[in-house]
Structure 1
Amino acid sequence: MATTRLITHHIAKGSTVGQTMKDRFDYGQNPLKTNDGDLVLSYECDAKTAYREFVLSKAKYHAITGRKQKKNEDVLCYQIRQSFLPGETDAEGALKIGYELAMRWTKGKHAFFVASHIDRPHPHIHIYYNSTTLDCTRKFRDFLGSARALRRLSDRICIENRLSYIAHPKLKSKGKYRHYGEWLGANRKPGFKERLKAQIDACIANIPQSFEAFLQAMQEAGWEVKRGRGGAISFRTEGQERFTRLRASTLGKGYGEDEIRAAIGGRATGSGNAPPRRKMSLVIDIQERLKAGKGPGYERWAKVFNLKQMAAAVQYLQENNLFSYEDLEAKAWEATDNFHAAAGRLKQVEAGMKRNAALKKAIVDYAKTRPVFEEYKAKKYSRKYLAEHEAELAVYRAAQASMRELLCGAKLPKMDALKAEWRRLASKKKSGYAEYRAAQKKMREAVTVKANIDCLLGIADREKNKEIER
């Protein structure tokens, strides 16, 4: 289960910018923790001189932009800590995953280095990236919800690499939510059930050939396996008095024996947090593109792209607790109906605003041209007067007809009432548009995920064949 934490580094009290960063970086690159520096990767910088390069980039930033923050407020660099469950990956694997996380998080716009440590039982990495961009014109800003965005990116990369992740990390503690990195923190030792579920996830992620191979992997990981009456499977580890039964009612949905057997046999998604087999962009029909003239390079890129789309689809299914195709289909229909309902409400508000604007314009035009009509009437509809004021009289008649059509026999409202109604409708449109955009986003996500799952299961091809036969 990969956990993440985002840390900002400021100037240490009584120290300089360079010395502060050097102290931080020396800790991350400690030879005893990084196998004499073999477990360090860098991007657009030399890890050994990174603190000097970061200081130089900040001097260039001040020279180019002219902006300079107060000494205690300036962020020197950012640090990301990413930890993995023991047994899921090794130090080299963690280093590669950490490098990919850093590259996708910074989008290649910030220099960074990644150090994988071997001083703890669990693999973990430290990422240090410069707050100043490579062109020295901008800085990275720690935005609202950055920790959650980092966690989601880490979870997605874990799914792509067939590693488990924490689906619901936030736990209440004295009325407050703990941050992601504290989910398995020192103040809370995970229970036997949590440890058992984590180990099941790790074993399933390794794709055992059979259920017996899965049980053997559990035994090798230090779990005692017991077969009870009727063949029921139970597990126990060191320090545990009673066995824990392998069933969904005890461990949760996705952890029953039948579900695990189905996952191993390739018929289900497996355990609760283990990466399933099956995003927010439609997958590419690679064969069709190759027929259209695309080359081997495009084919390699498309395969990676499709893998990422399926990983995102898996993450969506986990986060929304969609454990069957029927649930996904219902979710897509519900999201589509909600979107159309929000669009309908927004159209009604816009129609009301359009009517309000037209009525106000008609009232103003009527008030401006009515004196002309009254004088025309007083002159007994003189042709000479009509020729001189034909345009004004045409505006008067059009405004009169428009008011008649818009009011439909109702009493003419006062201008202040119309203005108040306009403000109310404008406010309603603003909130309605936000609701519309949110519903549209949810619909696109649900429909795209369903389309990708259909593609994976071959449903789209079957429907296409039926249409051809018809």
Structure 2
Amino acid sequence: MATSRLMPRHIDAGRSILGTIAKSIDYGKNPDKTRDGKLISYHECDPRTAAMEFTLAKRQYASITGREQPKEKDILLYQIRQAFPKGEITPEEANRVAHELALRWTKGKHAFLVCTHEDKEHIHSHIYYNSTNLDCNGKFNNFLWSAIALRRLSDLICVENGLSIIRNPKPGKGKHYGAWLGDDRSPSFQQRIKNAIDAALEQKPASFDDFLRLMEDAGYTVGSGKRITFLCPADGELPAQKKPTRCDTLKGDYTVAAIRERIEGKRVVSPKVRGTEPPAPPKLNLLIDVQNSIKAKGSPGYERWAKVFNLKQAAQTLIMLQENNLTEYTQLSQRAEQAAARFNDLGGRIKGIDARLSEIAGLQKHIGSYGKTRDVYAAYKAAGFSKKFFSQHEQEIQLHREAKKAFDALGLKKIPSIKALKQEYAALSVEKKKLYGEYHTARQEMKDFITAKSNVDRLLRYNEQEHIEGGGHEK
């Protein structure tokens, strides 16, 4: 039963636009409420620089459109609060649902943050989205019945995700979570079935049939035709379910296959919901040379976008340098060289392992052929290398010769056993898999440091050029 509230945010008395936006967003990003930022997701912005990005978009809007409202009337950003009753949802799932709500509500045209708080009994999310769109040429249309439209969209998403909604909602603006509770606190039928499944599995049933008996003992009607179904019984004030729920529609850890795996110990249920992790921080990109860009010369809109892009990348570069405690240019150069050297070293080691794996695979093939054709070749030799014998056993003799040629090329004095080769192959495969993880990390690290160094080089050249053009250099 999710509740939602839409709140436009104006400039605070005595604060700047940036200060007002930062204050709002900082409340949502509170690490004590968002599990050190793990319950934060976002769209087209970086949580670390979101306030600056929102403010910059407003300046671009004024520059592009020439329109500017009085500060006290201008809506800087919007805040949506979506809350769920106790036990209805996990924080990770709440963040995913709120992210979907924000994406569909803004149609992906506005940058936003989703900050899910777990400091209270009811899980709730704060969504902050910029009133200015991503193209900086328009603003969000806060129409007359937007709060009602938001509530309907929130309800629709909750139904799609098997969550309960408020039945017969009361009219009124600005209703907070507690005001909606009343007698409508019931969880959805799907949630009740999931809770019952968890309770039954906690009793460690020995088989799936034992699990079904435990569900029946709990009062649930079990249908065991082509599809396993469950029907919720009445429970106190909670109503009985009229139409059964198919087990496989519960998805995730509650399908028939998943329940069997949980019974057999092959699946351990984790409270973390797949796909709800905050997206990875935006990757560092090279600055755009606006002055020499053909697109910039032919398109004022592209030039404006490129300058905004460069500001964002410059801010991300600065954050990266601060996080890695790189205060001097020589340190940055050394880290870039070290990252490249490590990447190349890992790449060489992986290539060496690949070569050995191919060699082992070939050896296994030749050893098998050699063993199968050894007697035939011995008979061919005993027959004085008879042409007639060769014509009768040409394929076996050729395979034997190829195998022996391969052994000679490797300088093998003793042919290794297939068992030993399989053990070596398995060990090398494990090592290669481990190295691949390090390889991908090293590749990204190398790219980040080289990109950061290139950006710093570009920024230093920009500063030097501006200094010369401004006439501030000394001779």
Normalising to structure 2: TM-score of the pair?
0.45
